[in-house]
Homo-oligomer: A and B are copies of this chain.
Amino acid sequence: MAVQRDVFFLSDGTGITAETLGNALLTQFEGCTFEKTTLPFIHSVERAHSVVEYLRQVEKTSGERPIVFSTTTSNAIRDELRAAPVLFIDLFDSMLPAIEAELGVKSTHAQGRAHSLADGNRYDARMAAVNYAMEHDDGQSVRDLPRADVVLIAPSRCGKTPTSIYLALQYGIFAANFPLTEDDLTELRLPRSIATYSGKLFGLTSAIERLHEVRSERRPGSTYSSVSQCAFELRQAEQLYRRHGIPYVNSEHMSVEEIAATVMQERGLRRTA
């Protein structure tokens, strides 16, 4: 009785929009199993034709129509793809007409723009942010802290690094991150090099068990990963955040995407790219 289905993400670009769209929709069907494949860079009718041939094979073999999420913009390519024996869900087909009507402007049908270099400035800003996050990871450099949009602080392994990287890639935010040392935590003080940036700070905590588990993967049996050490650091970190009026979240049940969106909201940041 379990529902199983082949799913394809088709695109004339990277396929990222089709994947994001399709995956968001499929999360609404718990208990169903989806075998997912992305076919990017479908730039020609010929390529579309061979994709259709392939989808025919898949349908024949599985005995069920695949579900296809498409974001191809060329009418000719889309017409070709429609020949496939699938449930064909196309982003542009279903949503562009309403926007065209609203704006009184015809869409350009330009291919593969969503994740391209179409906007070069925006792109360069994101890459500058990624480089910044790499250079200012884990307190490695304090050279260019005045340039930071936000400085994440937390005990080791609470999610500082991936959150910084994500803020850079997704939002073009310049995010530095800084570890809290045993001394900082014991004395409930901010590391000296970031104390003057308290308006940019954002803290992370986690749950004792979760932190113990994550640290144990790295250094099993160490003091660093012990339950008592994790408990101490998390309790002190939270007190430190409160004492200095630093906004913070418990990252235990949050994804990096959710932490990043929360940081944006709480620190009143706007995407720069």
Contact = CB atoms under 8 A, between A and B. Distances in A.
A253 interface: yes
Contact of A260 (B14, B27, B114, B131): B14
Contact of A165 (B23, B27, B169): B169
Contact size range, A: 35 or more
A16 B102 contact: no
A89 B96 CA distance: 10
A151 B28 CA distance: 35
Number of copies of this kind of chain in the complex: 2
A263 B207 CA distance: 37
B16 A170 contact: yes
A177 to B, nearest CB: 12
A162 interface: yes
Contact of A27 (B5, B113, B261): B113
A54 interface: no
Contacts of A65: 102
A182 to B, nearest CB: 22
Interface in A73-110: 73, 87, 89, 91-92, 94-96, 98-99, 102-105, 107-110
Interface string A120-153: 0001001100110010010000000000000000
Q: Among the interface residues A103, A110, A166, which one has the most CB atoms of the partner chain B within 10 A?
A: A103
Contact of A96 (B3, B25, B31, B40): B25
Nearest to A123: B255
Interface of A: 3, 5, 13-17, 20-21, 23-32, 36-38, 40-41, 65, 67, 71, 73, 87, 89, 91-92, 94-96, 98-99, 102-105, 107-110, 112-118, 123, 126-127, 130-131, 134, 137, 161-162, 165-166, 169-170, 253-258, 260-262, 264-265, 270-271
A30 B110 contact: yes
B87 A130 contact: no
Contacts of A108: 28-30
Contacts of A96: 25, 28
Contact of A13 (B92, B162, B256, B258): B258
14 contacts: A5-B102, A13-B258, A17-B20, A20-B114, A27-B118, A29-B99, A29-B105, A29-B107, A87-B99, A112-B258, A117-B258, A123-B255, A134-B165, A162-B169
